[in-house]
């Protein structure tokens, strides 16, 4: 009886030792299989790996069941399969690590596309090439003010011209172009300085008195001739306007000279000059019937003919307002 | 008396059926799972699994063989588990083979006509 128990104990001990060794062997194979899997064994040696894995699993199952003989046979199948799988995977891995050199991409000549504002939208497509803006707005910023008048382009009726916001970004109109806006220009159709509210400064060269038209600037003629110089045209235009304003009022044009020269010739020259003035006024639109021209020569001096200044004053044209004829 | 004998016979018959059912539960289930795995493996081979999914096909094959072995040793529980594993691998092989077949370029049309006729 004791012998039988001893034999049973020996068998049990041997069996336990055998199972432990088989587990170690199985663990070793499992580690090998894991290494093979990491090397891509599933692709490189699929059948060998599958055989090793399956037999390892079966061996573990048999070890748990206590069937050492069957476990051994499965381990014996798993071990060479794992080795073969490892061998194939190594070769396969070597092939896998070969990296082909990427052929250099052919250099494509880049067309020179300018992008002045650097917003990524080429100048060709950029509506605002100098101001950066997103591509969805074709390179323009969200709020632009091209004319810089403080009114953004989205509400500016004149985005290219600076203007106050009161006029929706447009400049005030200025018909005569004198720099004074029509709204402030008292003479919107005649250019004039700002000081005169946009109206031309008309120098008053005549003063209409009760009996005469007084000239502040004398009428000038060519020497010894009855040809009016152009610097006297403004005075004569004002005289013409005054005569026209006094419609029906007769005006006598008087020509006077100094006493230098022959009296007869001076008389004739004064008459010719008076006639020349009358002719000019008629050309300016004055009714000829309203005018009369008389040459007095040196007969009616207003200053001394002894001096040069006096003689200059005596060479003159006067306009006398006559009483209306009844 | 004959009535009592009939009753005993009936009881014996029912007991036999019950015993058969109880004893046959394991083999029947295992056999059903093994048959299912076997059918799946046949489908896998039909789908060219040996070539297109060798890893999964080999596993399915080996697991099914082991399941049959366990069934032969009347270890129906293990047999059922292994057969189920086999079925799982077979299904995976079919799926993988199908995916690889669709990703591979189709053979050039008329390639068979290039074989010279004898």
Per-residue pLDDT for A320 more than 80?
yes
Cβ of residue B66 closer than 8 Å to a chain A Cβ: yes
Determine whether the interchain pair B54/A61 forms a contact, defined as Cβ–Cβ distance below 8 Å. no
Q: Are strands A291-297 and A251-256 parallel, antiparallel or unpaired?
A: parallel
Residues 31-50 of A with CB under 8 A from B: 42, 46-47, 49-50
Cβ of residue A62 closer than 8 Å to a chain B Cβ: no
**pTM across the whole model:** 0.42
Angle at A97 between CA A93 and CA A103, to 5 degrees: 150
Closest by Cβ to A61, choosing from B54, B58, B78: B78
Residues 12-41 of B with CB under 8 A from A: none
Most confidently modeled range among A17-21, A174-178, A239-243: A239-243
- Taking each continuous run of H as one helix and of E as one strand, the counts in chain A are 7, 5
Determine whether the interchain pair A51/B62 forms a contact, defined as Cβ–Cβ distance below 8 Å. yes
* Contact list, A49 vs chain B (CB under 8 Å): 55
Q: Report the C-alpha gap between A110 and A115 in whole angstroms.
A: 14
Per-residue pLDDT for B111 more than 80?
no
Per-residue pLDDT for A11 more than 80?
no
Q: What's the pLDDT tens digit per position in A26-64?
A: 999 999 898 888 888 888 889 999 999 999 999 998 998
The token duo for A320 is: 């006398």
Q: What's the pLDDT tens digit per position in A175-184?
A: 888 888 888 8
Helix axes A2-38, A68-97, angle to 10 degrees: 10
DSSP 8-state secondary structure symbol assigned to residue A221: B
Phi (first) and psi of residue A29, to 5 degrees: -65, -40
Cβ of residue A92 closer than 8 Å to a chain B Cβ: no
Distance of CA A35 to the CA centre of its chain: 69
Query: Nearest CA to CA, how far is B62 from chain A (Å)?
Result: 7
Per-residue pLDDT for A157 more than 70?
yes
Cβ of residue A61 closer than 8 Å to a chain B Cβ: yes
Contact A190, A199 (CB under 8 A): yes
Q: What's the pLDDT tens digit per position in A78-93?
A: 999 999 988 888 777 5
């Amino acid at each position: 009886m004791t012998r039988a128990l001893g034999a049973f104990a020996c068998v049990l001990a041997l069996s336990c030792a055998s199972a432990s060794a088989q587990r170690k062997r199985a663990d070793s194979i499992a580690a090998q299989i894991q290494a093979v899997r990491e090397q891509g064994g599933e692709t490189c040696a699929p059948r060998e790996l599958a055989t090793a894995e399956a037999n390892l699993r079966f061996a573990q199952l048999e070890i748990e069941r206590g069937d050492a003989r069957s476990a051994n046979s499965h381990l014996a199948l798993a071990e060479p399969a794992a080795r073969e799988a490892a061998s194939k995977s190594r070769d396969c891995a070597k092939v896998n690590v070969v990296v082909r050199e990427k052929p250099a991409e052919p250099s494509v000549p880049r067309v020179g596309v300018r992008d002045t504002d650097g917003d990524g939208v080429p100048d060709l497509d950029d509506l605002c090439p100098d101001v950066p803006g997103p591509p969805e707005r074709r390179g323009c910023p969200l709020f632009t003010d091209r004319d810089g008048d403080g009114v953004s382009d989205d509400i500016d009726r004149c985005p290219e011209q600076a203007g106050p916001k009161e006029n929706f970004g447009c400049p005030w109109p200025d018909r005569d172009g004198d720099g004074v806006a029509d709204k402030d220009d008292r003479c919107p159709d005649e250019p004039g300085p700002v000081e005169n509210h946009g109206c031309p400064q008309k120098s008053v060269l005549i003063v209409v008195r009760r009996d005469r038209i007084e000239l502040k600037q004398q009428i000038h003629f060519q020497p010894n001739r009855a040809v009016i110089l152009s610097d006297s045209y403004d005075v004569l235009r004002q005289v013409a306007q005054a005569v026209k304003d006094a419609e029906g009022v007769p005006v006598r044009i008087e020509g006077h000279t100094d006493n230098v020269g022959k009296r007869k010739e001076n008389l004739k020259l004064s008459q010719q000059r008076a006639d020349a003035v009358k002719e000019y006024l008629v050309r300016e639109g004055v009714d000829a019937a309203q005018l009369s021209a008389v040459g007095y020569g040196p007969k009616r001096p207003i200053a001394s003919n002894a001096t040069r200044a006096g003689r200059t004053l005596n060479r003159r044209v006067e306009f006398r307002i006559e009483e209306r004829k009844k | 008396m004959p009535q009592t004998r009939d009753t005993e016979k009936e009881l014996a018959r029912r007991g036999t059926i019950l015993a058969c059912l109880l004893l046959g539960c394991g083999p029947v289930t295992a056999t059903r799972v093994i048959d299912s795995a076997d059918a799946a493996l046949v489908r896998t081979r039909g789908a060219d699994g040996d070539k297109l999914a060798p890893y999964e096909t080999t596993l399915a094959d080996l697991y099914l063989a082991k399941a049959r072995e366990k069934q032969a040793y009347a270890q129906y529980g293990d047999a059922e588990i292994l057969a189920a594993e086999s079925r799982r691998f077979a299904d995976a092989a079919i799926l993988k083979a199908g995916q690889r077949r669709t990703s591979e370029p189709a053979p050039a049309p008329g390639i068979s006509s290039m074989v010279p006729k004898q």
